Every structure is written in C-alpha cells, then in structure tokens.
Homo-oligomer: A and B are copies of this chain.
Amino acid sequence: METDSLYLRLAAHYRRAILGGVLAPGDRLPSVRSLMQSHHVSLSTAVQACRRLEEEGLVEARPRSGYFVLRPRRPVLAPVREPDVSRTPDPAQYVGIHDRVSAFIARCEAMGSGSNFAMAAPPAEFFPVEALKQAMMRALRRHPEMLCSRVPPQGHPALRSVLARRALEIGVQAHPDEVIVTHGCIEALNLALRAVARPGDTIAVESPTYFGLLQVLESLGMRALEVPTRPQHGMSVDALDLALQAYPDIRAVVTIPNHHNPLGCVMPDAEKARLVALCERRGVALIEDDTYGALGDAGPPPALKAWDTTGNVIYCASMHKTLAPGMRLGWMLGGRWSRRIEMLKFAQTRPNEPLAQAAVADYMGSKSYDRHLARLRVRVRNQREEMADAIARHFPEGTRLNAPSGGMLLWVELPAGTSGTGVFERALRDGVRVAPGAMFSNSDRYDHFLRVSCAEDYTAATARAVRLLADAVAAEVPRTARAAA
C-alpha cells in the first residue's frame, strides 16, 4: 500500500507547476488515468492528489471533463503582519519626508521607459480619451466664451449637480451647492487641513499612509501622528482613541477608508461608524480621502461621510484614478467648515476654470461613464490578481501579502530585515520602478515593505519585470533571514 506522503508529493509536484506558471489558469490537469500511468501510482493516490489541489483552491473539478487550473482567488501568501495597536507613536514634524519622496519620484521619472510598479496611475488608454475629447469639443463649440469669461464660484453648476447625484451611491446626501470643485484631491486635502488646523498642530493619519498626504502636512508645517493601522481593516479606532487621549492637541484625523493607499484595504462599516462617532465625540475634525473608493471590485464602498450627521466629516475625492488624470479635477464636501473652505479656495487658487468641468459633467452624467467604470474595475482587478499571483510565485519565502477587494495597489511585506530601499535601487538598475515602504511613513517602520502598483496591463513584459523585481528582493534578503527560511 502506498504511503500518505506519495499523494502529497504528487500534489506538491503539480502545485509547483501551477504556481510556477507551467500550468496556467484554464489549463487541464492530466487525467487521473494519465497520472496513474505517468507516475506509477494507484487510482486512490491520483484521486487524493487531485482532491488535495482542489481543496487548496488551485484546481476545480468539472463534471465529466477532469480538473482545471484555477486563477488563485485567495492569497497563497500569509497576510501582512498586524501592528501593535496599543502603541502610540510620537508626532513627527518636518522630518524631510518631502525631500525623501521627491528623490524617489525624480529618480523614477528620470527613467523614461520600463515597467512602472511605482506609479498608481493607469496609462491613458485605460480611460475614455475619445469620449472626453468629444465632450470637450462640444463644450468648446457651445460655450467658447467660457475660455475668456469670469469663472463661476466654487465650480460649474452642471458638475456640482452630477457629483451630488453620484454621491448618493456612496451613501452621501449632498446638495449641489455644497460641492466645492478643486484642483485634484490634493487641493481638497490642503483646504480641509487649512480650514481645521494651523501650523504646529498635530494631525492623526494612518500608518502607513499615502506619501502625498505626508508631504502636504510637512508643507503646511503640521505634525503627523501615525496611528497603528490594521492592514486588512484600516486605522485602528481603539489606537486612535488612545492617541486622542495622549495628545490633546490633535486637531484632525485624515484617513483613506476605502482601498487605502498603500494598504488596499477597506475599513469595515462598523469601524467606519465607530470612527465617525469617536471624532465627533472628541471634537476632532475627520477628513476623508476617497480617491480609490470607486475602484472597488464590486463598486464603491460607502464613504465615512455616510455616517456623518453633524458636519464633522470633510469628504475629499478626485477623478484622477477613475476618469482623467490629465484634467486634475477633484471635489469636496466641507461639512461644517464649508464657508471657511470656500474662503480659502478663493484666496488660494480662485474657482476652477469651467471648460473641463463642463465636459466632465457631460460625460459623468451619461451611462457611458458607468460602462467605463465597470470595465475599468474588471481590468484593474485582473491586473491586481495577476500581480498577486506572480508575487506569490516568484518572491522569496517569508514574503507576505494581502488580497484587497479593489484598487490597484498591493502592499508587500518582505522577509524580515530586507531593505525596500535596497530593492528599489537594485530594481531601478534593472529598469523596474517600485515604491519602497520608506515613502509611506515618517519613520523607518516600513522599510521592509514595497508598494506594488498594478496600474498597467499584465503582459509578458510585466511578468519579466516581476521576476526581475523578485530577484532584487531575493538579493536583498539578509543571510540570517535566508538561513531561517
């Protein structure tokens, strides 16, 4: 009688073939009869091996056809480690995050071509270029005088209406007059922060968080307090509560609740409700950056603003990731700070120019926009899953990864002691760009992380670049970690 280990060895053989890409999703596994013949095993062993692979989610049985390789739906890597939510880090001020980030960005930009896993922006062909061009042409033909007339205050009425209507999908009731159109989400964040806080004030943010937010805080002379954040559930409300008690000078919380950058996670509804209630109770403004929400695989998760009954939440969003990176349009709902935000917007850049707004309102009000979003979500999801598979296949043992349910970002935890910045340097030499974890914190807490952006179609070139990246990671894994693995 054959031992148990025989069917396990057989399963392991085919597992490697699947994870290594020798057998691709959709491929048929050799039939049970072929397995018996090729490997000289019994029917029982062949069947047990197939069932084992089926349990692991690597193949599926199709009646009367055999076993077929599946696209792995669950991460085959362990999830990213949870933080200690009882620690409350010190606020950091002007630690040079801007220069650090700028240096990374400049070095990436200096490399004109090659695979780009650093940039969280899909190429133009992912967006409805032709339809937007036509919408711009129509707006120009109808109202060319817009180019040379005074601009309407706070935004073009048609766009404000469309945005208020779209906000219903994320659970937010807003009158068009409350919508303030901005130069991207970044201006919205600036205005929100300037409305509720002053230089020297402390602002609670996720840890890790979007480097652009850290740059904004540094440029405004505000201090970032990085709140422990759970990689699959977002900012820890309990840790925030502790921080608010420890630091009474925290003026605001800035959070990315939906498809967080860089974590990719969505804060569960119950946590969203708790977070909104906590900030309200403590009298701390809650600023929400919803840049990625619309890229949820199953549509946009609800905004924090949906739980806001008192105007304590400032909602900020943009069209960069979903529609038109080159038009630089964002928008916000100012809650109880609306009037002050309108004043600051007027004093900072005046209202936005109307032409682009008219065109985008035209397109966003149409069914074409919904069809585009649906296609974009599928495309981004496929890229993300291909990338996750490839990382699972090629990155060294000890790598950890979550499986976000939307967005284009993967937050990769490298084996302990591996320098993400070292990986960045090595990969750059090989023509591959990636964002090292050091960009996402004022501390060095995430230096053994990478943010891998899946913004481009997954092609043979992408596959080659992932392997180069995996080689760079492997070369940076410290010997001790390699020995332990």
A residues apposed to B, CB below 8 Å: 98, 102, 109, 119, 121, 123-130, 132-133, 136-137, 140-141, 144-151, 153, 183-184, 186-187, 190, 194, 198-199, 212, 215-216, 218-221, 323-328, 343-344, 346-350, 352-356
Contact = CB atoms under 8 A, between A and B. Distances in A.
A216 B346 CA distance: 9
A350 B186 contact: yes
A153 B344 CA distance: 24
Given A137-B140, A221-B198, A129 B147 contact: yes
Q: How many copies does the complex hold?
A: 2
A340 to B, nearest CB: 9
Contacts of A130: 144
Contacts of A325: 148-151
Top 10 nearest A-B pairs (CB, nearest first) are: A127-B148, A219-B347, A133-B144, A183-B349, A124-B145, A124-B148, A328-B353, A124-B149, A187-B349, A215-B347
A144 B215 CA distance: 31
B326 A184 contact: no
Contact of A199 (B186, B198, B346): B198
A interface, over-half SS: helix
Contacts of A149: 123-124, 325-326
Contacts of A151: 325-326, 328
Contacts of A346: 102, 215
A145 B109 CA distance: 19
A325 B146 CA distance: 9
Nearest to A359: B147
Given A187-B348, A347-B98, A326 B129 contact: no
Contacts of A344: 219
B343 A328 contact: no
B150 A132 contact: no
A125 B144 CA distance: 11
A278 to B, nearest CB: 28
29 contacts: A109-B153, A119-B150, A123-B149, A128-B148, A129-B144, A133-B147, A136-B355, A137-B137, A148-B326, A149-B326, A150-B325, A151-B326, A151-B328, A184-B350, A186-B347, A186-B348, A186-B350, A187-B349, A198-B199, A198-B221, A199-B199, A212-B347, A215-B343, A215-B347, A220-B347, A326-B354, A326-B355, A328-B349, A348-B348
